[in-house]
């Protein structure tokens, strides 16, 4: 059993427990449930933002504990002040040491798009995402059939949520990416070996429809990588581990974005310089 199969089995049990503790009728009474949604797509396309989706991730299956005591309030606000386009909040507790409360805390202190990063396999989790203040959800193609993906995405859109569809290979691209309604994330991490290679984004990105908003995920650790990805049409760059390995992730994000801005200015000047 690979890690995603293990997680899926656990999530089925977890979801059933949560349905008993927090029925849908209760979720629908949340102050967030009828609140306006902030568009992740629009923020990624804004000229005054970096395109970076800055993530709060305490732990991961591949690295173990990364930043156990991170302050969601300080870090999320710091990310946005640094110029990030959006936030990604891990809400899975067992594998990532996150919680729904983390996302709701980020929502309380930020007016920006917030992606709920979790292993979503059931309609209940989509409704739950809206109730805790998310603007977008992650659907992982490797965990879902095309019909399951379509059903969950349809429910999300009916609630006003945007959908980030994560793929890892050409098979998932061919079977799951059926139009430009999705934001498509290409995960550079091999889910079997946990190795990370940004070439995955470079290879699969060229195969996506032109109008799709493309997001590169995992393994982005330099402004140069973002410049390269932007040159082939990527609009979003999900970065978590690189920031979270620092004691103050928001400061690491700020320095990264400042370096990116300086590099982009240099590239702009070079491109505008007339040939001799």
Instruction: Point out the catalytic residue in the list 88, 110, 187, 201.
Output: 187
Instruction: Point out the catalytic residue in the list 14, 55, 172, 250.
Output: 55
What is the per-residue pLDDT for 180?
75
Taking alpha carbons only, the member of 261, 259, 267 closest to residue 222 is 259
> In the annotation, is 166 catalytic?
yes
What is the per-residue pLDDT for 273?
65
Q: What is the pTM of this model?
A: 0.95
Instruction: Point out the catalytic residue in the list 14, 50, 57, 188.
Output: 57
> In the annotation, is 2 catalytic?
no
Alpha-carbon gap, residue 68 to 66, rounded angstroms: 6
Element spanning 250, H or E: helix 249-272
DSSP bridge partners of 162? 136
> Radius of gyration (Cα) for the chain, nearest Å?
18
> In the annotation, is 59 catalytic?
no
Instruction: Point out the catalytic residue in the list 14, 76, 218, 250.
Output: 218
Instruction: Point out the catalytic residue in the list 14, 162, 172, 217.
Output: 217
With b for 16 or more beta-carbon neighbours within 10 A and e for fewer, the 152-187 pattern comes to bbebbeebebbbbbbbbbeebbeebbeeeebbbbbb
What is the per-residue pLDDT for 275?
57
Give, for all 276 residues of the chain, the pLDDT tens digit. Answer: 488 899 999 999 999 999 999 999 999 999 999 999 999 999 999 999 999 999 999 999 888 999 999 999 999 999 999 999 999 999 999 999 999 999 999 999 999 999 999 999 999 999 999 999 999 999 999 999 999 999 999 999 999 999 999 999 999 999 999 877 899 999 999 877 788 999 999 999 999 988 999 999 999 999 999 999 999 999 999 999 999 999 999 999 999 999 999 999 998 777 776 654
> In the annotation, is 265 catalytic?
no
> In the annotation, is 117 catalytic?
yes
What is the per-residue pLDDT for 227?
96
Instruction: Point out the catalytic residue in the list 117, 188, 214, 216.
Output: 117
């Amino acid at each position: 059993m690979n890690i995603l199969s293990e997680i899926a089995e656990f999530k089925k049990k977890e979801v059933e427990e949560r349905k008993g503790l927090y029925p849908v009728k209760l979720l629908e009474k949340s102050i967030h449930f009828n609140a306006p949604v902030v568009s992740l797509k629009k923020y990624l396309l804004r000229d005054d933002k970096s395109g970076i989706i800055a993530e709060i991730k305490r732990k991961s299956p591949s690295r173990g504990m990364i930043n156990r005591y991170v302050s969601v309030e300080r870090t999320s606000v710091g990310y946005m002040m640094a110029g990030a386009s959006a936030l990604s909040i891990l809400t899975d507790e067992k594998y990532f040491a996150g919680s729904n409360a983390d996302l709701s805390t980020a929502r309380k202190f930020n007016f920006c798009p917030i992606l709920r990063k979790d292993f979503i396999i059931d309609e209940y989790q989509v409704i739950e995402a809206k109730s805790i203040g998310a603007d977008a959800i992650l659907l992982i193609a490797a965990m879902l059939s095309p019909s399951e993906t379509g059903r969950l995405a349809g429910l999300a859109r009916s609630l006003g949520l945007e959908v980030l569809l994560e793929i890892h290979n050409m098979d998932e691209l061919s079977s799951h990416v059926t139009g430009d309604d999705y934001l498509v994330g290409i995960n550079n991490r091999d889910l079997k070996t946990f190795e990370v290679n940004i070439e995955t984004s470079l290879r699969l990105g060229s195969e996506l429809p032109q109008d799709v908003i493309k997001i590169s995920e995992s393994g982005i650790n330099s402004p140069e990588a973002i410049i390269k990805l932007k040159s082939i049409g990527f609009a979003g760059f999900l970065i978590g581990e690189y920031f979270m390995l620092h004691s103050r992730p928001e400061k690491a994000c700020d320095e990264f974005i400042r370096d990116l801005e300086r590099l982009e200015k240099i590239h702009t000047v070079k491109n505008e310089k007339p040939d001799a």
